[in-house]
Amino acid sequence: MTGDSVATNLFNLDGKVAVVTGGSRGLGLEMCKAFASQGASVVIASRKLEACERAAAQIRKSAGVDAIGVECHVGKWADCSRLVDIAYEHFGRVDILVNNAGMSPLYPSLPEVTEELWDKVFDVNLKGAFRLSTLFAEKMAEAGSGSIINISSIAAVQPGAMELPYAAAKAALNNLTIGFARAYAPNVRVNCIMPGMFLTDIAKAWLPETLEHAGKIVPAGRAGEPNEIVGAALYFASDASSYTTGAILKVDGGLAFPAS
């Protein structure tokens, strides 16, 4: 077997099933496409069913794998349970869970952060990831293997004044990553990706000076393209990371300093 074929086989996901929350757009959609390109079937979950079904149809056509869309508000535990039930009813197994759903609403100032905003941010960024990880990890452990990937943010280690609720929730998600990695070892691997500035659809709202500033402060000299999250996602999802669990990987062009 050549070196190239060994490397290719490391990332092979034939016969696997991946569930991706927030999977209908942005980094979530890029990960869904990447998993499908390596042979995995995909469950695309988000609050907007139409967007999920559209993305699933696109993947079925382009990758030739099975893909379904599921409406799910991860901040509601009943929705989390329903997502698990649908995934197992349709595919009979789940090998990969990506907790990618997230939100960071704008607010005028810290004193003006409402209780509603705070609760909403923690529900989507943390509460849902905790509940889904618990439900899926139990089944993965019983089956003998599985990979959970949390999508955090460099805000977790380098927070700004205008994203503190989000940053706090993502810092807690980093903590959950390590805790779950230990709780469900050795059969379930749990890892985390911390993205930096990426040119997803959210970036369309950025001011031109924001992009110009990114070119100056990011060591790589630019913001990331959405498909540049794929390498890290495939690594954690596949056998390439068979001895990696409890890891937190920055994918940010070198912008953030790691937490001390």
C-beta of residue 84 within 8 angstroms of C-beta of residue 4: no
pLDDT one-digit tens code per residue, 84-118: 999 999 999 999 999 999 999 999 999 999 999 99
Mean pLDDT of the chain: 93
Strand, coil or helix: what is 224? strand
* Beta carbons within 10 angstroms of residue 45's beta carbon: 32
pLDDT at 207 over 70: no
What stretches of 49-179 adopt beta strand conformation (E)?
A: 67-71, 96-99, 146-151
* pLDDT at residue number 21: 98
Domains with residue ranges and CATH for the chain: 13-251 (3.40.50.720)
Strand runs (DSSP E) across 16-163, as ranges? 17-21, 41-46, 67-71, 96-99, 146-151
pLDDT mean over 127-147: 98
pLDDT of residue 212: 73
pLDDT for 1: 46
Catalytic residue among 88, 166, 184, 235: 166
- The pLDDT of 195-220, averaged and rounded, is 78
Summarised one tens digit per residue, pLDDT across range 179-203 is 999 999 999 999 999 999 999 877 6
The reply to whether 166 belongs to the active site is yes
Identify the band that residue 165 occupies on the pLDDT scale cut at 50, 70 and 90. very high
Is residue 246 predicted with pLDDT exceeding 70? yes
Residue written as tokens 């937490």? Answer: 259
pLDDT tens readout for residues 16-72: 999 999 999 999 999 999 999 999 999 999 999 999 999 999 999 999 999 999 999
Helices 49-63 and 26-37 pack at an angle, to 10 degrees, of 30
Model pTM? 0.94
